[in-house]
């Protein structure tokens, strides 16, 4: 009996390892240099983002950072629908297919699809059929962060694009703003991200906005009555909404988090000390944020002969 249980446990462990592998061995910073030596990929991404942000749309830096998170998190165990950082979120619904765009955490909420299209168009003009949409999303998140004043990092490349997406996985895997600290820790833990990663990644809420329907706490920018104008926007960071800094953690220590899930990080629980540290030490926050973004970008990428390089990020190739 004991050995049957031990056998079952090791089988489950193996299944979990296969399921949540971060198989990033084949990713590399110079991935495209032999297939397209003349391509200045980072330059193209950076130019499109700079022009977008300087046209009065600084929020787009935040939106692209969130797009990457929402691409990477939904992840299945079935090898035929193995989803991670694979641009699955970019696939449009068709008559016979429902993708992730209409999942609850994404619908009427995730932004930036047109900016990714623009980058992809420019990249295709330079080197057709070589660069994945998944890598473009990873680079756009990095540059969105940096252009708002945040840290930068080297992005390993070579992710390929999925040929499918999962509406149900997007619903089940993306964390809900009403979550408790324990639920948040479990959701990130399921992706191989530890408590430090979770608290550092949540610092992305130093930029961008939320619709008032999600605001549970500081509702000063929102209509007084809940249910009225739920789509009015309020800044996630009360102090510096388009600057990527550590002010979000200062908000939390003053109990001025906007989402319930934000304030859960500083509410007498295990993350209080780290939140306090980040609130007074932006270098520590930046270092942990970068490490966690790199880890998140390595969630189950499709590599080698898996997946494809989509010609149009919104549709699977014929």
Q: How many other CB atoms are found less than 10 A from the CB of residue 153?
A: 16
How many residues interact with ligand HEM (rule CB under 6 A)? 26
* Contact window for ligand HEM (CB under 6 A) among 60-68, 77-85, 90-98, 267-275: 60-68
* Contact window for ligand HEM (CB under 6 A) among 132-140, 207-215, 278-286, 310-318: 207-215
Q: Which residue ranges are tagged as binding site for Ca(2+)?
A: 71, 76, 78, 88, 100, 206, 237, 240, 245
End-to-end CA gap in the chain: 51
Q: Taking CB under 6 A as the rule, does residue 234 contact ligand HEM?
A: no
Whole-angstrom Cα distance, residue 205 to residue 266?
14
Q: Which residue ranges are tagged as binding site for substrate?
A: 175
Strand, coil or helix: 94 = strand
Q: Report the residue number, 130 or 233, with the smaller CB distance to ligand HEM.
A: 233
Whole-angstrom Cα distance, residue 124 to residue 207?
30
Binder of ligand HEM out of 31, 32, 69, 167 (CB under 6 A): 69
Q: Taking CB under 6 A as the rule, does residue 66 contact ligand HEM?
A: yes
Binder of ligand HEM out of 149, 151, 175, 269 (CB under 6 A): 175
Distant-in-sequence, close-in-space partners of 267: CB < 8 Å, separation ≥ 6: 181
Q: Taking CB under 6 A as the rule, does residue 246 contact ligand HEM?
A: no
Q: Which residue ranges are tagged as binding site for heme b?
A: 205
Q: Taking CB under 6 A as the rule, does residue 310 contact ligand HEM?
A: no
Q: Which of 51, 256, 87, 69 is nearest to 163 (CA)?
A: 87
- Nearest distance in Å: CB 300, ligand HEM: 16
Is residue 316 within 8 A of residue 180, CB to CB? The reply is: no
Q: What are phi and psi of 233, to 5 degrees?
A: -100, 140
Burial readout 81-118 (b: 16 or more C-beta within 10 A, e: otherwise): bbbbbbbbbbbeeeeeeebbbebebbeebbbbbebbbe
Q: Taking CB under 6 A as the rule, does residue 207 contact ligand HEM?
A: yes
- Nearest distance in Å: CB 76, ligand HEM: 19
Q: Taking CB under 6 A as the rule, does residue 63 contact ligand HEM?
A: yes
Give the residue numbers annotated as catalytic, written as ranges. 70
- Nearest distance in Å: CB 165, ligand HEM: 19
Residues 84-113 that bind ligand HEM (CB under 6 A): 109, 111
Binder of ligand HEM out of 31, 167, 214, 278 (CB under 6 A): 214
Q: Which of 116, 117, 106, 28 is nearest to 69 (CA)?
A: 106
Whole-angstrom Cα distance, residue 247 to residue 206?
7
Residues found near ligand HEM in the complex (CB under 6 A): 59, 62-63, 65-66, 69, 109, 111, 175-177, 179, 184, 201-202, 204-205, 207-211, 214, 236, 259, 261
């Amino acid at each position: 009996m004991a050995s049957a249980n031990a056998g079952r446990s090791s089988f489950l462990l193996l299944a979990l390892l296969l399921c949540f592998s971060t198989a990033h061995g084949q990713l590399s910073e110079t991935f495209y240099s032999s297939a397209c030596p003349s391509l200045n990929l980072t330059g193209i991404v950076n130019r499109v983002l700079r022009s977008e942000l300087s046209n009065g749309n600084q929020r787009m830096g935040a939106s692209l950072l969130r797009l990457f998170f929402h691409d990477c998190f939904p992840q299945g165990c079935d090898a035929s629908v193995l989803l991670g950082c694979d641009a699955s979120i970019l696939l449009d619904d068709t008559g016979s297919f429902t993708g992730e765009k209409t999942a609850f955490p994404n619908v009427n909420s995730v932004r930036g699809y047109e900016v990714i299209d623009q980058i992809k168009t420019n990249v295709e003009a330079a080197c057709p059929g070589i660069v994945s949409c998944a890598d473009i999303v990873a680079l756009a998140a990095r540059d969105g962060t940096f252009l708002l004043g945040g840290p930068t990092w080297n992005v390993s490349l070579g992710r390929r694009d999925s040929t499918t997406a999962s509406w149900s996985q997007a619903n089940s895997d993306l964390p809900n703003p009403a979550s408790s600290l324990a639920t948040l820790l479990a959701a990130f833990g399921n992706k191989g991200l530890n408590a430090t990663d979770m608290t550092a990644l949540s610092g992305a809420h130093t930029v961008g906005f939320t619709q008032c329907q999600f605001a549970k706490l500081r509702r000063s920018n929102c209509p007084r009555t809940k249910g009225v104008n739920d789509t009015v926007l309020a800044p996630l960071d009360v102090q510096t909404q388009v600057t990527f800094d550590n002010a979000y953690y200062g908000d939390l220590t003053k109990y001025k988090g906007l989402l319930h899930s934000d304030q859960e990080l500083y509410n007498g629980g295990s993350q209080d000390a780290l939140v306090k540290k980040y609130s007074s030490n932006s270098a520590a926050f930046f270092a942990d944020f970068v490490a966690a973004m790199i880890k998140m970008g390595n969630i189950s990428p499709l590599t080698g002969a898996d997946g494809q390089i989509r010609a149009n990020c919104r549709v699977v190739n014929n």
